[in-house]
Chain A
Amino acid sequence: MLRLIRSVLLLVCLGAVLPASAAIKVLATTPEWAALTIELGGDRVNVYTATSPFQDVHRVDAKPSLVARARSADLVVAAGAELEIGWLPVLLQDSGNPRIQPGSPGYFEATSQLSLLEVPARVDRSLGDIHPLGNPHAHLDPHNVAAVAKGLSVRLALVDPSGAQYYAERGTSFQARWQQAIVRWEADAAPLKGVNVVVIHRDQAYLCHWLGLIEVAAIEPKPGVPPSAGYLGELVAKLTAAPPRMILRNAYNDPKAADWLSERIHAPVVLLPYTVGGTPEAKDLFGLFDDTVKRLLAAPK
């Protein structure tokens, strides 16, 4: 018992004595907002990403490792709009960390910087797993990334005031490169305007909105609801009559449903990274959009 108490005390002392590294600790819920934090924060931030590109962010466990990260975080960067409602509140409450509670400077929601698409007129769970505040998968429109970057730069400077100048410079540099990249992506993707696509979940809404792709159908009949055999039958009938150019599948989606539909309606499945790390090419935010546009353009006509 004494030995146990001694080792616990030692651990406590170590925690207090170890030099806090200069970098601020950021817990980002998703890879895309983690990548943006790294773009803007450079060496001054130490970012831990709560989820992998192959995880459905709706379904994440409030894992012990995440409580540990929340405990020491100076800043939480979340997508918000209730995307993480099933797990983030537990982390925040169990963290014993007042810096990252909602409303504090250390709690940042990307979607709070944006007007969201698909804000439901009616909130009722018979409509599926809908998000009352609007579709939270907002990062696939690069203009949204730019708007979030502006807010996040300001927030980083608020949490780490001694780096304000650094964040401002990095922010300006990022915006310059980002706007040039947007011009390039939009020029490249011009032929995609008006192209009919089928999606799985409604998490491509912002990409479609940005590029002018037309979502003619979703494999999920309602958000978060897997398709029934009957619904798939109707879908095949409808899409055989008016075939889409492609079926979009995210890296984290199960390939089965998309492949099944592809075989029947003879439309190719286009695998998209969805977030940073979703494909080997999507190494950072620039890579994410480079690769997304490239894959969309490469789809057989």
Chain B
Amino acid sequence: MTSFKSITAVCALACTLLPTVSRAADDVATVRAELQTLKKDYDARVAALEARIAQLESAVAAPVASAASGPPPTPPAPTRAGNSGATAFNPALSLILVGRYASLSQDPANYRIAGFIPNDGDGPGQRGFSLGESELTVAANVDPYFFANATIAVQADNHIDVEEAYFKTIALRDGFVLKGGRFFSGVGYLNEVHAHAWDFIDQPLIYQALFASQFTQDGAQLKWVAPTDTFFELGAEAGNGANFPGTELDKNGLNAYALFAHLGGDIGDSTSWRTGASWLDERANNRMFDDGVEAGVPVQNAFTGKSRTWMADAILKWAPHGDPTIHQLKVQAEYMHRDEDGQLFFDGPGATLGGPYKSAQSGWYLQSVYQFMPRWRVGARYDDLDSGTPRIGLIANGLFSSAEFPVLLPASPRRVSAMLDWAPSEFSRLRAQYAWDEARAADERDRQFFLQYIYAIGAHGAHKF
């Protein structure tokens, strides 16, 4: 240190002296005074430098701050709003656009799933080009306690459906989440999945037959996730039951009750799975449906009674190391069974006649989708339904023949579908699908060909498993 100090001092002196000497010594005393000041000045500077060096040395011995060499660390920016939310206080907005082309060998106007009481959510839709629903989703945290989400679907015929509009708690503890408003029920697996995230253009036949495609609750749902490493979840719902297979009841109480349980986990690092069981209990009051023609006049029958559905679902996903970039396999299946018990009213020409009605109907599907190269997937699905033979009092007591309830004649609708899709990015998908649909009857096979596009703009959505 001393040598450094003296070198510095000598240099400083030399630099200072040269011009001083050249000026010729006018006033030696002044120069001496100046030198004295300079020396003091440099001593102070050298002392400061020494102090800094000592500081740096100790920092290297027990470093906390920046490194002695190399580029400085990128400085922290604590002022950044950070923790990625949607922009400022605006909710996250996203819009899904869907459109398609359909070529159907049978007239979609007479589509029906034989043996099952019809609803307005079945069938392959119209022929030719058509716009699907445009789905606008707005979502954000309301405050520290609630999250809110609304999905508004604008249909091709310009009418607007509130598909989902719910709040959800984010502050409840111990694995509880309460949801309220209008939402897709948590029963089954596909029921909660929005149309744009389906792997096929349409829902499995059993969903169409039992739930008019998807079962929506206007009510509340409580879910609880168990504190276990294996995923275990229980859920209970109560709603107004206004949607098929229930009907609006003019009363203060509730109508649709649902219970469900999910179990899930991983097998190694490549496979994950989830299974579930669900139960749905509803009442229907004068649930109307068209059934045949009597003396040239369409007949409208009605069901009043209990409708109870059991469901079992399972899904398995496989991807090498869990990375679906190149390959992924999805296999899923669901089974549903419904018992309806009540009164069936024949509302043809003349007086309304009623009698007991009891049915046990079931169905299942199995589907698999395989991504065989990045962005390309193929899929196959098999649908199989069993309408059973309903016990109809009006037939048993000899007043009617079974031919007078053509919709309820026993049947086993089936369908086979094949799908190919290409997703240029996470936000776009183009799909082709071909189906051999024997929902009407085996000898009334409908050959269905579809092309579909799905585009998503706006906020990046996060998808459920």
Contact = CB atoms under 8 A, between A and B. Distances in A.
Interface of A: 8, 11-12, 15, 51-52, 54-56, 59-65, 67-69, 71-72, 80-82, 85-90, 93-98, 101-103, 107, 109, 111-115, 125, 129, 133, 138, 141, 143-144, 146-147, 150-151, 172, 175-176, 179-180, 182-183, 186-187, 210, 224-226, 252, 254
Contacts of B74: 114-115, 138, 141, 143-144, 147
Contacts of B77: 113-115
Nearest to B223: A96
Nearest to B70: A186
A183 B227 contact: no
B68 interface: yes
Contacts, number: 203
Contacts of B320: 54
B460 A143 contact: no
By Cβ-Cβ distance, the 3 closest A-B pairs, closest first, are A64-B264, A143-B73, A64-B231
Contacts of A175: 63-64
A97 B175 contact: yes
B274 A64 contact: yes
Contact of B321 (A52, A72, A113, A183): A52
B73 A125 contact: no
Interface in B74-95: 74-78, 80, 82-85
A55 B324 CA distance: 8
Interface string B372-412: 00110000000000000000000000000000000000000
Nearest to B457: A125
A189 B309 CA distance: 66
Given A55-B323, A56-B323, A64-B273, 10 more contacts: A59-B323, A88-B462, A89-B462, A95-B225, A96-B172, A96-B224, A102-B83, A103-B83, A109-B82, A224-B426
B325 A254 contact: yes
A96 B234 CA distance: 12
A143 B75 CA distance: 9
Given A52-B269, A86-B463, A96-B174, A68 B322 contact: no
B67 interface: yes
A130 to B, nearest CB: 11
B64 A172 contact: yes
Nearest to B175: A96
A95 B175 contact: yes
Contacts of A81: 84
A210 B67 CA distance: 13
A67 B75 contact: no
B430 to A, nearest CB: 16
Contacts of A68: 225-226, 228-232, 264-265
Given A63-B465, A64-B264, A97-B175, A114 B76 contact: yes
11 contacts: A15-B228, A54-B321, A56-B325, A62-B463, A65-B272, A90-B462, A97-B175, A129-B426, A143-B74, A172-B62, A182-B67
Contacts of B71: 143, 210
B290 interface: no
A65 B175 contact: no
Nearest to B172: A96
A224 B71 CA distance: 30
Given A8-B234, A54-B323, A72 B375 contact: no
Contacts of B321: 52, 54-55, 252
Contact of A183 (B69, B224, B264, B274): B69
A5 to B, nearest CB: 11
Nearest to A98: B171
B458 to A, nearest CB: 10
A65 B324 contact: no
A236 to B, nearest CB: 20
Interface in B17-42: none
Contacts of A8: 234
* Residue with the highest number of chain A CB atoms closer than 10 Å, among B74, B76, B273: B74
B129 interface: no
A95 B265 CA distance: 15
B317 A61 contact: yes
B322 A60 contact: yes
A287 B164 CA distance: 49
Given A11-B232, A80-B83, A90 B463 contact: yes
